[in-house]
Amino acid sequence: MRQNKYAALCASLMLAGLCGCTSVSAPPAQHTVTMVAKSTQTEFWLSVFAGAEAAATEYNLQLTILGAETEEDYEAQNHLVEQAVEQGTEALVFSAIDYENNAAAVDAAARQGVKIVAIDSNVASDAVSTYIGTDNYAAGQMAAQAALDRVEGPLKVGIVNYDVSSANGQERERGAVEAFAASGRAEVVNIINTLASASYARIDTTHLLEEHPEINVLLAFNEPTCVGAAQAVRQMKLSEDVFLVGFDSNVETIDGLQDGSVDALIVQNPYAMGYLGVESAYKLLSGQDAGMEKKVDTSTRIVDQDNMFTIDSQKALFAFEQRTD
């Protein structure tokens, strides 16, 4: 009898909007998003992952992060994309090792209904809804200008690039070469491509400097090549003779700024790439993509010995990069 009275009272209160005994609906199912990165090892990518995980938490997404063991293994990336599709991912946040050779796997995923977002390094696929990352041509120009503004007289330039098939590395190279040519006082002596590994970059940079002792400016276009180039400059005791402009920041490159083996860093915003990449995936899956931009340029800045202790530079150099478990 009491139960009947309670049920009647609750029903009347519900009608009046006053009862806390309303039925609880099941939470909406989480959308599934997979990030396939070029690497899982460098501090750059750890910062990307931190941003991605922050967005996944904010938008209640089930996020899986995968990556190749080396930044040259595009076939491994293709297998990871296939695996993600087989496991039912709804969206792919992808950074291509190889602009051309990753395209078929991305296209195949899109044909299965997977939404595609590219970050950091684009891929030759019309299925990409938006690209989020550095304007790499402009970043290459920025690297060249950093040397032009800080080194007097003629510049003899050596460029240490990574995989020849990576879109962002090639765009950085093109921007730098054209900026040097336009200056009228710089000659690009040699361009090498090395593995995206500090040890390989150190060996190859050493050979470059031994074969071309006239080089007084070095450009290194990502974190591992910058670390390796700085190690070569330091070991050869050329810190005062070679002006090194690198990309990205980690403990070694920041130490290099202080000891003079690195003269300037082009610092990207990997945290933003990860966050905005996953946020864009959410918008695509939830139908909130109206007006989504085809390209989003994340911020890039030059940090050198003169400005490295300013608040803005410190924020750029020491971006949050610890993944949460």
Q: Where in the chain are all domains bearing CATH 3.40.50.2300?
A: 31-134+269-299, 136-267
CATH class as words, domain 31-134+269-299: alpha beta
Whole-number Å distance between alpha carbons of 182 and 185: 8
Place of tokens 């450009």: 219
> Mean of the pLDDT values across residues 53-60?
97
pLDDT, one tens digit per residue, over 233-288 is 999 999 999 999 999 988 999 999 999 999 999 999 999 999 999 999 999 999 99
Average pLDDT of the residues in 100-123: 98
Classify 136-267 by CATH class: alpha beta
CA distance 38 to 102: 11
* Bridge partner list, 319: none
Question: Cα–Cα distance between 324 and 233 in angstroms, integer?
Answer: 36
pLDDT of residue 15: 36
Could you read off the pLDDT of 181-201 as tens digits, one per residue?
999 999 999 999 999 999 999
Nearest in space to 178 (alpha carbons), one of 170, 262, 150, 213? 170
Mean pLDDT calculated for residue range 41-57: 94
- CB 227 within 8 Å of CB 209: no
8-state DSSP, 29: P
Model pLDDT, residue 320: 54
For residues 139 and 71, the answer to whether their CB atoms sit within 8 Å is: no
Distances (CA, A) of 142 to 114, 131, 312: 36, 20, 18
In the block, tokens 């990205």 appear at: 248
Cβ atoms of 271 and 48 closer than 8 Å: yes
Higher pLDDT, 51 or 28: 51
Lowest average pLDDT, out of 39-53, 84-98, 208-222, 273-287, goes to 39-53
Q: Please report the DSSP string for 164-228 in residue order.
A: TT-HHHHHHHHHHHHHHHHHSSEEEEEEEE--SSHHHHHHHHHHHHHH-TT--EEEE-SHHHHHH
How confident is the model over 135-173, as pLDDT tens digits?
A: 999 999 999 999 999 999 999 999 999 988 888 999 999
Task: Tell me the average pLDDT across 49-66.
Answer: 97
Average pLDDT on 195-217 reads 97
Backbone angles phi, psi at 31, to 5 degrees: -70, 150
Amino acid of residue 81:
V
For residues 17-39, give the mean pLDDT. Answer: 69
Q: What is the pLDDT of residue 319?
A: 67
Quick one: DSSP state of residue 87?
T
Say what the pLDDT of residue 316 is: 86
18 pLDDT band, cuts 50/70/90, is very low
Q: And the tokens for 317? A: 């150099």
